[in-house]
Amino acid sequence: MPAKQIQVSWEWPPLLFFRWVIGGSHPAGIAADWLTSAWGQNTGNPDANPSAAAAETEVSKWLLDILDLSRESSIGFVTGATMANFVCLAAARHQVLAEADWDVESQGLIGSPKIDIFAGEEPHASIQSALRYLGLGSQTSTLISTDEQGCMYTELLHQALKASQTGPKIVITQAGQINTGAFDPFSEIADLKKEYAFWWHVDGAFGLWARINEETKSLTNGVERADS
């Protein structure tokens, strides 16, 4: 029986794909997981498990130190990039609505002031998921054009902020664009906060670690001025 002829048509030009960015196991991590399972503790609060709370406190200090971020920053440990963006954007949602005299935790989103969200035109999928989970909508953001590396054009963001009506605003940027590793112009974006009131979130899942190396730290200059 002759083989069937299959025609493949590409709607978009094919892209090179090398591998998924999925972390592997590490001996120290495996050991910690064994201890966690053996203890079988409920780590929901410090009273129930002070040892876990103490460990998180110390690791938080280590992270703020090696990333050279404000030592007053709050840190939470989550399951991955989607929940990290979710938690940070939940904080953003709370704060910008609180500044508009709206308590989203008690009043919900029905009838709340509209939140204008700005992001580069190629945000990571976890950003869209987080916005959807938060009831803000995965397709409601104003997407700012980027260059060929995926870096947001600051002037276009400036124009979009200027055209936006008065009200709550969230700006989402990237440290390490997933396809190119590019960094948005953080210092320029930070300067816009002098003129406009907005919560500035940086998705740093891939690139924030550049801060630990003196040769690459300059790529993140200004990120320490972000809100999350």
For the chain, what is the HEC assignment?
Answer: CCCCCCCCCCCCCCCCCCCCCCCCCCHHHHHHHHHHHHHCCCCCCCCCCHHHHHHHHHHHHHHHHHCCCCCCCCCCCCCCHHHHHHHHHHHHHHHHHHCCCCCHHHHCCCCCCCCEEEEECCCCHHHHHHHHHCCCCCCCCEEECECCCCCECHHHHHHHHHHCCCCCEEEEEEECCCCCCCECCHHHHHHHCCCCCCEEEEECCCCHHHHHCCCCHHHHCCHHHCCC
**Which of the four pLDDT bands, split at 50, 70 and 90, describes residue 17?**
low
Q: Quick one: average pLDDT of 43-64?
A: 88
Residue 79: predicted pLDDT: 86
CATH of residue 148: 3.40.640.10
Q: Evaluate whether 114 touches 168 at the Cβ level (below 8 Å).
A: yes
**Which of the four pLDDT bands, split at 50, 70 and 90, describes residue 49?**
confident
Q: Quick one: average pLDDT of 72-90?
A: 93
Looking at the DSSP bridge assignments, the partners of residue 199 are 170
Phi, psi at 199, each rounded to 5°: -90, 130
Q: Which residue has the tokens 């803000």?
A: 136
Q: Quick one: average pLDDT of 47-75?
A: 91
Q: Which residue has the tokens 């001025």?
A: 225
Say if 195 falls within a structural domain: yes
Q: Quick one: average pLDDT of 98-122?
A: 95
Q: Is residue 104 pLDDT above 70, yes or no?
A: yes
Count of domains observed in the chain? 1
Query: Within a 10 A sphere around the Cβ of 26, how many other Cβ atoms?
Result: 9
For residue 48, with 0-12 CB atoms within 10 Å meaning exposed, 13-18 middle and 19 or more buried, which class applies?
Answer: exposed
Q: Is residue 193 pLDDT above 90, yes or no?
A: yes
Q: Quick one: average pLDDT of 153-182?
A: 93
**Please, how many CA atoms are within 13 Å of residue 159, restricted to the half-sphere of its CB?**
8
Which structural domain, as residue segments, surrounds residue 134? 80-225
Taking the CA atoms of 49, 53, 206 and 183 in sequence, report the sign of the dihedral they define: positive
Residue 196: predicted pLDDT: 94
Say if 122 falls within a structural domain: yes
pTM of the model: 0.86
Say if 104 falls within a structural domain: yes
Q: Quick one: average pLDDT of 153-168?
A: 93
Say if 33 falls within a structural domain: no
Closest CA to 115 of 49, 171, 56, 168: 168
Residue 188: predicted pLDDT: 96
179/109: higher pLDDT = 109
Say if 74 falls within a structural domain: no
Say if 2 falls within a structural domain: no
Say if 174 falls within a structural domain: yes
Looking at the DSSP bridge assignments, the partners of residue 55 are none
**Please, how many CA atoms are within 13 Å of residue 192, restricted to the half-sphere of its CB?**
21
Q: Quick one: average pLDDT of 175-198?
A: 94
Say if 36 falls within a structural domain: no
Residue 23: predicted pLDDT: 72
